Chain A
């Protein structure tokens, strides 16, 4: 049992950590590391949205990149063809990804475990192939779409890595806040119930298909938003960035960090996206080892799983304060 003071201290340290984190661009961190952090941030949001589906609802979903792609391409098309601004296209991107998820997930939502996993991989591959083949003549084939505008917020055009840093990480913070509420709502509890025991959940009147589908759509909408941010940050998108492997990476982030725990997922994003870059920096002094960067990364993944099989920060059980008369 922790003393209440210790809990408050941890909380305090977390707040200090967060404040310090948002100060990073002020400490003269170069654009490269800011770029890395921005990438970590984007993947963190994606992984947090996947966490709703995989961590909370317990559905093995390995095709999240498909929704990310739909969001990014919707933004790119609305921006370059119809001339919408990035912020204007953002809701549309989320909506498009959500509708797409509704469409593809409805017939497959009842599939169990690994079958669902395979089907979601299939979906992400179909999306990629459709993009490569220039579906509807809108996606530009393998070239992708270029010349996507930068986001403009209150008249400020976001172009430099440190500006994106604030945009992306503010979005991460917002996501964590909203998803925190969602997880602790009736909806979140229902998802956990379905994950732990679908039969019992149905038994007490939880419509599991409906809840699962909703989880899928919420995750997809959020991936769509992230796609919009990604498109405006890269300014050029191509199908290669949305392949099956991206989905695998997101899957790894959630499981490695601790599925169902926001802080775990955030840590997972730092490790999976950041470690290879750290290795790059560390191995710079040994040119022979530079090529072995990903080899170490693979080994590190295995080791981390062996030492923390539930993920690095597994979720704590829900805790409720008992009414005083019961507690006594």
Chain B
């Protein structure tokens, strides 16, 4: 009895899900798949804020080529299984394209679902190499790839003259991938890797690991994980009164790093990243950041949310320039016709794999005031 009642309820709801609609110059739905809840909730919420704000602005000015843009948010919870459902949900809602998401493993779980339904997807924070090596014609990303990053990181480490490094990752898909890239580039013994292991993300106390590394006496610690752990490492390194320099990857490009570590501990920390929200130059970026600041009282905390903004920009352009906003049409435009477009994070064009072309990585260092300073 009860089961039947529940079934009926679910059935009713299922029927109530709106069907897709497609008419000429009709509004276009764009999905944002982002970790709005869960561990990466702050990244996800920033992504949604950025895209919503841009869509509002665009619609106020008449939309993309006369089409209004409707934003549909799908919460992936930072988890592959939830992401698969979120993707199904966005497909059901009739989106033409999807922006997102942050984590590579999460994006991976959704790729097939979008591909099966002719929905274009633009990844925004998923830097894992594999994602664009599968030959999916409708997948793009506005973020760069881990191998780019590894190359740039290894080059800078060599240029800065370090010889003996401890390489630490956190066993996440991203951090491990980057660590392996970098280690492979040191195979020529240009830099000796004296320590290679993974810390557990979410722990608070890394002094054990730091003590262990210290006995090996490296002249550099490379950490390829995310900012919370990088900050804890910096802080506890300082507490041990150990002054070894540290370098990290783009997932540490987050203003919270300095808050957590404290200025004194963060001073001198290097990282490789595309330009962060506060370094974006150009009239468009500055105006948008000012508006974002006015609306949400803070800047997006990392560059990945801005990458979602770039994804929206290129999508809007594509929608404006195609007859029918289908996945295939939009993809054709992005592959072939998108040239010389300048987004928030610099020029954007896509190669045949859907990867972003050009070199976006830069070397940064934290100064005594806790600012991220671009090192030319």
Contacts and interface: CB of A to CB of B under 8 A. Distances in A.
Q: Do chains A and B touch in the complex (CB under 8 A)?
A: yes
Contact of A39 (B3, B11, B15, B81): B81
Contact of A142 (B7, B37, B93, B171): B171
B369 interface: no
Contact of B171 (A132, A267, A312): A132
Nearest to B180: A141
Contacts of B198: 133
B173 A238 contact: yes
B105 A33 contact: no
Q: Is the interface of A mostly helix, strand, loop or mixed?
A: helix
Contacts of B105: 142-144, 236, 238, 240
Given A17-B7, A142-B105, A240-B79, A35 B176 contact: no
A270 B6 contact: yes
Contact of B3 (A34, A35, A240, A263): A263
Interface string B1-18: 111101100110111010
B286 interface: no
B11 A27 contact: yes
A184 interface: no
Given A267-B2, A291-B36, A33 B10 contact: yes
Contact of A16 (B4, B116, B176): B4
Contact of B85 (A16, A39, A294): A39
Interface residues of A, number: 52
Contacts of A30: 14, 17, 19, 88, 92
B147 interface: no
Contacts of A31: 88, 91-92, 117
B108 to A, nearest CB: 5
Interface in A274-297: 274, 277-278, 280-281, 290-291, 293-294
A20 B14 CA distance: 14
A14 B177 contact: no
Contacts, number: 123
A159 B115 CA distance: 12
A28 interface: yes
Interface string A2-42: 00000000100110110011001001111111111101000
Nearest to A230: B81
A266 interface: yes
B3 A14 contact: yes
Nearest to A141: B176
Interface string A253-277: 0000000000100110011001001
Contacts of B37: 291, 293-294
A180 interface: no
A17 B6 CA distance: 10
A234 B109 contact: yes
B92 A234 contact: no
A57 B13 CA distance: 37
A21 B11 CA distance: 8
B85 A146 contact: no
Contacts of B81: 39, 234, 241
A235 interface: yes
Nearest to A37: B10
A236 B173 CA distance: 13
Contacts of B117: 31
A190 to B, nearest CB: 29
B109 A267 contact: no
Nearest to A133: B171
Interface string A232-260: 00111010110000000000000000000
A33 B13 contact: yes
A161 interface: yes
Interface in B61-106: 73, 75, 79-81, 84-85, 88-89, 91-93, 105
Nearest to B110: A236
A143 B173 contact: yes
The 7 closest A-B pairs by CB, nearest first: A17-B4, A30-B92, A29-B14, A35-B88, A32-B92, A33-B14, A32-B89
5 contacts: A13-B4, A20-B11, A31-B117, A267-B6, A274-B10
Interface of B: 1-4, 6-7, 10-11, 13-15, 17, 19, 36-37, 73, 75, 79-81, 84-85, 88-89, 91-93, 105, 108-109, 112, 116-117, 128, 130, 171-173, 176-177, 198
Interface of A: 10, 13-14, 16-17, 20-21, 24, 27-37, 39, 132-133, 141-144, 146, 159-161, 234-236, 238, 240-241, 263, 266-267, 270-271, 274, 277-278, 280-281, 290-291, 293-294, 312-313
Given A35-B89, A291-B37, 17 more contacts: A13-B4, A14-B1, A20-B4, A28-B15, A29-B14, A32-B85, A34-B88, A142-B105, A142-B173, A236-B108, A236-B109, A263-B2, A266-B3, A267-B3, A270-B6, A291-B36, A293-B37
